[in-house]
Amino acid sequence: MQYEAFFLDFDGVLADSVEVKTQAFTRLFEPYGVEVVAKVIEHHRNHGGMTRDDKFRHYYTEFLGEPLTEEDLADLCQRFARLVVDEVVHAPEIPGAESFLKEWHDQVPCFVISATPEEEIREIVQRRALDVYFRDVLGSPVSKKDNLEAVLNRYALHPGGCIFFGDAESDYRAARQCKVPFLGILPGPEAPLLKAFRDIVWFRNFNEMQQWLSANRL
């Protein structure tokens, strides 16, 4: 059987860019002191795939005990984007990512499903010259689950014939909710996702995964 589609998160899956976002959150919360920064970093690293809007709301409510207006939230998101876009564009790839896309995109439609704002993730993918590999690039404010479900319906895809490649709990849950098989692209056995779900099939990069994928059917 032929795979019907591949869905891929971006940060931590195609680009080694998770720490770019960590540094941006650090800079934005430095004025509130080292204890707040430590809480923000811990939460951010353990909640990959959560939108920045939801993270900012959580940090202000839980760590600062301060109100966050929609105007202030929009300003924070703009400042965050200015800190990260160029850095993500120039972040190193996860080893083997583009080779994987080159090999498979003509055979299997590929889609980016990200929590990054859609306009921003499309700009990043285009500036990294990866847009030629993807049928579509989707981001927030629509959730990963809803974007995944929409693509499955739009292209009449059978969920069991697809794969979601991700590194975060939001990726895994979206895949499970839509009945799409999941493969982890993770930095190692201590990744937060593996602490929550030990049975996930995972690889450190696409070089490790390629041979397995060719020989196995999820």
* Topology annotation, domain 18-89: DNA polymerase; domain 1 (1.10.150)
Q: What is residue 180's DSSP assignment? A: -
Q: Which pLDDT belongs to residue 210?
A: 85
Question: How far, rounded to the nearest angstrom, does the alpha carbon of residue 109 sit from its chain's CA centroid?
Answer: 18
pLDDT of the chain, 218 residues: tens digit per residue? 589 999 999 999 999 998 899 999 999 999 999 999 999 999 998 887 788 999 999 999 999 999 999 999 999 999 999 999 999 999 999 999 999 999 999 999 999 999 999 999 999 999 999 999 999 999 999 999 999 999 999 999 999 999 999 999 999 999 999 999 999 999 999 888 998 898 899 999 999 998 788 777 65
- Count each helix (H run) and each strand (E run) in the chain, helices first: 10, 6
Name the segment(s) of the chain with CATH classification 3.40.50.1000.
Answer: 5-16+92-215
Query: pTM for the complete prediction?
Result: 0.89
Q: Which pLDDT belongs to residue 1?
A: 55
Sheet strands side by side (includes 202-203)? 136-140, 110-117, 5-8, 162-166, 182-185, 202-203
- Residue 62, sorted as left (phi over 0), alpha (psi -120 to 50) or beta, turns out to be alpha
Cα separation, 48 vs 6, in Å, equals 20
Name the segment(s) of the chain with CATH classification 1.10.150.
Answer: 18-89
CATH number 3.30.830.10 is the correct assignment for the domain at 5-16+92-215: no
Both tokens of residue 50?
């959560």
How many C-beta atoms surround the C-beta of residue 82 within 10 A?
10
